[in-house]
Structure 1
Amino acid sequence: MDRLAIVIVTFKRQELLSVLFNSILQLTQAPWRVVVVDNENSPKTAQMVSDFAQRMNGQWGSTVDQVDSDGGTSRVCYDPQKENTGGSGGFSEGVRRAYELGAEWFWLMDDDVAVLPEALDRLDAWTDRYDVIQGQRYDYDGTPFFWQHHFVVPLCIYNPLSRAGFNGADHIDVNVMCFEGGLFRRRVVQKIGLPDYRFFIYYDDAIYGYLASKVTQPVLVPDFILRRTREVRHQEVGASGVRQISSTSDMTRFYIMRNRGCMARYFKLYGDYNPVGYGFGTFLSFAKEVLRLLMVDRKNFGSGWKRLWAGYRDSKRVLHDPSWKPMPPLE
């Protein structure tokens, strides 16, 4: 794959990052660049990245086709942040850095996954047909990971029943993406801009996939490319495990509600905002998070309720703030 940059965002999870680094070294194709955005700005992580860069260059050689801004030709670029910018800020910075280096393809992932050895070969088979590609993932226990691949834009919620059933088709057209293994071509990034750092966490990849769907057709393919390396406590809903409700933090609860306002501003830009549908979707989202508190995170109900309400209030502020503008294209 021509000039593929792996963009990794990490924060205080060196053990998981080490697993990811080791898996990258097992790839059957050499990535052109690996950009590591460190939201902790940790000396330990910096040393890990330095050691990883030596192993990368020893295995596949340096990238002599282009010299980095610091004069180096290492395949690995370390980008420590002065403060924690969240996953959203990390991906925004990582894509920006890879873009400036000249990447043609951007493969995004958190630090709590491992790539499968044949992942790039499997993705490469689709790159002559599509510009935005999402492969499948294995969960921590080795089962296929549940991912809602369709976004109901009028309600501003994921379709809770959108499981990956290919039914004989070789792919599924989608209107969202996931920053666990989502692959984007450069010309798409040019048109839709960088991931929005203001989301901090949650829904940043959903809106980026939505934006991509405005300029091309993102697809979910049946090939497995990643496995998750961090176990998350969850509760299955329905007799056959129709879906899962996973544990989450109070911080995430805040951004789940607050970032609805951010998404609505993007929907307004493209004429997709429906105030009645958005209001009903907000009610459903709030109710789902209350259900999560009751079923999975009962010990945090008091603090969780406060963060949900604070997020809802902030979503209204963003929705009506005339100074809040969507991210611009890079063209």
Structure 2
Amino acid sequence: MSGTASGIEGLALVIVTFNRSSYLRGLLESVAALDPAPERVVVVDNASTDDTASYLKALADTFPLPLTVCTLTENTGGSGGFAAGISAALQKNAQWLWLMDDDVVALPGAVAALGKWTGEYDCIHGRRFDEAGRPFFWQHRFIPLLGVHLPVRGNVFRDRPVFDTNVGCFEGMLISSDTVRKIGLPDPRFFINGDDEIYGWLASLENRVAYVNDFVLRKVRPQKQIDLGIRHLNDSSDLSRFCAMRNRGHTAGYLRAHGRFNRAGFAAGTALTAAKELLRLAAVERRFSGAGSLWRGWRESRAILKDTGWQPMPPLPNPPAATDPAAGQPAQSPE
């Protein structure tokens, strides 16, 4: 599977959205203007309660690209949404999956920029601008010893136009269907936070993961942030903080499954995770009222760690049925 003169063969764009129809409109408008464009767009409506459903229904007859809408019966988070969207795209014979949150827009030429790397890599991330048009900081490596990703300082593109990494981001990850079938769908148990990190690491166990020096997206949702020199910290939410700590249990499960779990190192990584979230509260959000969510998440992570029946997501030997993971029912589509 590789790039072609017209873009990326078998490319499906998978978008997960929840109650942000205004952002979704902007993203889909930018996608409709792409040339070359994806061959198909899959939108997962994560049980939105705003006007997302009516907007997508009205869009079905006018959107210039084949459009599949998966409407879930409950909010399954980013991880559950991408699991449903990837499943639906594979049912449409997608060969490449371009995974995207709803609060970005695609830049002209994005597909061609990514396509030139598809002959060498099976998991690719392009660069992003923030909402102010500045380069968005995303250059990390996952450290299995700690079970966390750490920032990489300096200009990672100084000597070559690609930075080999082993971590993922669902805000623009391009991944081949072959790799997806080997590592399975994103794990819905994460809900949010850490799901893409682990997914990128799993992909790196099969092939190299690339961060390339091509700007392909721009974030449109403003966020408070501070520059710490070695990394940036954005504002967050109590739900995200809870999941950051709770999902340490699931991260440990994947490390164990691949023989990479180190109890002492992982404990240090958990302490680093808690410290990062406390710093985010103090320096970015200027409050401490969210600290309790860290404690609750940590307690749940302990229960997950003790669960002897925990299993990783299974590989996919064949394209899975496009289902709603929340209800086990076929996803809805206008096609």
Alignment partner, residue 69 of structure 1? none
Alignment partner, residue 135 of structure 2? 144
Change (3 A) 1:91 1:162: farther
Q: Distance in 1 between matches of 2:253 and 2:57?
A: 40
**What is the Cα-based RMSD across aligned positions, in Å?**
1.4
Q: Distance in 1 between matches of 2:163 and 2:312?
A: 28
Q: Distance in 2 between matches of 1:47 and 1:154?
A: 47
Alignment partner, residue 18 of structure 1? 25
Q: Deviations over 1:204-249 (max 9, x none)?
A: 1010001001111111110111000101111222xxx432221111
The match for 1:40 among 47, 52, 77 is: 47
Q: Distance in 1 between matches of 2:37 and 2:213?
A: 22
Q: Distance in 1 between matches of 2:260 and 2:84?
A: 28
Alignment of 1:35-184 (within 5 A): 35-42=42-49, 44-57=51-64, 75-162=66-153, 165-184=156-175
Q: Deviations over 1:57-113 (max 9, x none)?
A: 3xx6xxxxxxxxxxxxxx100111101111111011111111112110000000000
Q: Is the 8 A contact 1:8 1:111 kept in 2?
A: yes
Q: Distance in 1 between matches of 2:50 and 2:10?
A: 29
Q: Please give the secondary structure, in 2, of the residue aligned with 1:159.
A: strand
More helix by share: 1
Alignment partner, residue 63 of structure 1? none
Change (3 A) 1:162 1:203: farther
Query: Which structure 2 segments of 5+ residues have no match?
Result: 1-7, 318-335
Q: Distance in 2 between matches of 1:206 and 1:226?
A: 19
The match for 2:295 among 299, 303, 309 is: 309
Alignment partner, residue 5 of structure 2? none
Change (3 A) 1:107 1:164: farther
Alignment partner, residue 198 of structure 1? 189
Alignment of 1:179-258 (within 5 A): 179-237=170-228, 241-258=229-246
Letter of the 1:79 partner, please give it: C
Q: Distance in 2 between matches of 1:287 and 1:198?
A: 23
- Per the TM alignment, residue 162 of structure 1 is displaced from its structure 2 partner at its CA by 4.6
Q: Please give the secondary structure, in 1, of the residue aligned with 2:98.
A: strand
Q: Distance in 1 between matches of 2:152 and 2:121?
A: 25
Letter of the 1:319 partner, please give it: L
Q: Is the 8 A contact 2:96 2:176 kept in 1?
A: yes
Alignment partner, residue 275 of structure 1? 263
Q: Normalization by structure 2: what TM-score? A: 0.89
Q: Distance in 2 between matches of 1:120 and 1:157?
A: 30
Change (3 A) 1:42 1:290: closer
Q: Is the 8 A contact 2:19 2:50 kept in 1?
A: no
Query: Which structure 1 segments of 5+ residues have no match?
Result: 61-74
Q: Distance in 1 between matches of 2:154 and 2:259?
A: 27
Q: Distance in 2 between matches of 1:43 and 1:32?
A: 28
Q: Distance in 1 between matches of 2:26 and 2:311?
A: 38
The match for 1:318 among 268, 287, 304 is: 304
**Sequence identity, in percent?**
46
Q: Deviations over 1:286-325 (max 9, x none)?
A: 11111112112233x13x1111001111111111201211
Letter of the 2:93 partner, please give it: G
Range that drifts further, 158-167 or 312-321: 158-167
Q: Normalization by structure 1: what TM-score? A: 0.90
Q: Distance in 2 between matches of 1:128 and 1:298?
A: 46
Change (3 A) 1:201 1:20: same
